[in-house]
Structure 1
Amino acid sequence: MSEAILLVGGKGTRLRPLTSHTPKPLLEVAGVPFLTHQLRRAAAAGVTRIVLATSYLAELFEDEYGDGSELGLRLEYVTETEPLGTGGAIRNAAGRLTCGPDEPVLVFNGDILSGVDIAALREGHRAAGADVTLHLTRVEDPRAFGLVPTDDEGRVLAFLEKPETPEQIVTDQINAGCYVFTRAVIDRIPAGRVVSVERETFPELLVSGALVRGVVDDTYWRDLGTPAAFIEGSADLVLGAVDSPAVPGDTGEALVLPGASVGQGAVLCAGTVIGSDAVVEDGAVVEASVVLAGARIATGSVVRNSVVGRGARIGGHCTVDSAVIGDGADVAAGNELPPGLRIGCGVRLPAEGIRVSAGRTPCSELPRAVHV
Structure 2
Amino acid sequence: MRAMILAAGFGERMLPLTGHTPKPLLQVAGTPLIEYHLRGLAGAGFAQVVINISHLGRQIEAYCGDGSRWGLEITYSPEEQPLETAGGIQRALPVLGAQPFLVVNGDVWIDYPFQRLGRWQLKPWETAHLVMVDNPPQHPLGDFCLDAEGRVTYRPAERVGYTYAGLGVFAPAFFAHMEPGKLALRPLLDAAIAEGCLGGEHFRGDWEDVGTPQRLTELDARISAADRR
**Match of 2:205?**
219
| 1:172 alignment partner, one of 158, 161, 169 | 161
| Cα distance in 2 for residues equivalent to 1:140 and 1:113 | 13
| Cα contact 1:104–1:122 (8 A) shared by 2 | no
**Closer, same or farther in 2 for the Cα pair 1:229/1:143, shift >3 Å?**
closer
Selected match of 1:132 from 120, 128, 148: 128
Q: What is the CA distance between 1:184 and its match in structure 2?
A: 2.9
Q: Deviations over 1:344-364 (max 9, x none)?
A: xxxxxxxxxxxxxxxxxxxxx
Given that 1:8 and 1:110 are in contact with CA atoms closer than 8 Å, whether structure 2 keeps it comes out as yes
Secondary structure at the aligned position of 2:101 is classed as strand
Quick check: 1:107–1:178 contact (8 Å CA) kept in 2? yes
Q: CA offset at residue 32 of structure 1?
A: 1.9
Letter in 2 for 1:192: P
What secondary structure sits across from 2:180 in the alignment? coil
Q: For 1:170 and 1:142, how far apart are their aligned partners in 2? A: 16
* Closer/same/farther in 2, CA of residues 189 and 67 from structure 1, 3 Å limit: farther
Q: Larger C-alpha radius of gyration, 1 or 2? A: 1
RMSD: 2.0
Are positions 1:230 and 2:227 aligned together? no
Q: Contact between 1:83 and 1:194, CA under 8 Å: does it hold in 2?
A: yes
| 1:28 Cα offset (Å) | 2.0
TM superposition shift of 1:170: 1.2
Contact 1:91 1:189 in 2 (8 A): no
Shift of 1:26: 0.9
Structure 2: gaps of 5 or more residues: none
- Residue matched to 1:121: 117
CA distance 1:30–1:74, change in 2 (3 Å): same
Contact 2:122 2:129 in 1 (8 A): no
Give the aligned residue type for 1:204: A
Residue 144 of structure 1 and its aligned partner are, at CA, apart by: 5.8
Q: Aligned equivalents of 2:177 and 2:167: distance in 1?
A: 18
1:1-372 correspondence to structure 2 within 5 Å = 2-98=1-97, 100=98, 103-123=99-119, 125-126=120-121, 128-129=123-124, 130-139=126-135, 141=137, 143=139, 146-158=142-154, 168-186=157-175, 188-198=176-186, 200-210=187-197, 212-240=198-226, 251-252=227-228
- The farther-off stretch of 86-95 and 201-210 is 201-210
1:141 offset after TM fit, Å?
4.5
- Using the size of structure 2 for normalisation, the TM-score is 0.91
Name the structure where helix makes up a greater proportion of residues: 2
- Return structure 1 stretches of 4+ with deviation > 3 angstroms: 140-146
TM-score with structure 1 setting the length: 0.57
CA contact (8 A) 1:5 1:50 kept: yes
Give, in angstroms, the shift of residue 237 of structure 1: 2.3
Measure, in 2, the Cα distance between the counterparts of 1:132 and 1:65.
28
Q: Distance in 2 between matches of 1:12 and 1:196?
A: 15
Indicate if the aligned counterparts of 2:141 and 2:159 stay in contact, CA closer than 8 A: no
**Cα deviation per residue 1:78-116 (whole Å; 9 max; x = unaligned)?**
111123221111101122123x3xx22000111110111
Q: Between the two proteins, what is the percent identity of the paired residues?
A: 31
Q: Which amino acid aligns with 2:224?
A: V
Shift of 1:236: 2.6
**1:59–1:184 distance in 2 versus 1, CA, 3 Å:** same
The residue matched to 1:83 in structure 2 has which SS? coil
Change (3 A) 1:189 1:56: farther
Q: For residues 23 and 86 of structure 1, do their structure 2 counterparts lie closer, same or farther at Cα, with a shift above 3 Å needed?
A: same
Q: Distance in 1 between matches of 2:107 and 2:211?
A: 6
Alpha-carbon distance in structure 2 between the residues aligned to 1:85 and 1:126: 26
Distance (whole Å) between structure 2 residues aligned to residue 22 and residue 120 of structure 1: 31
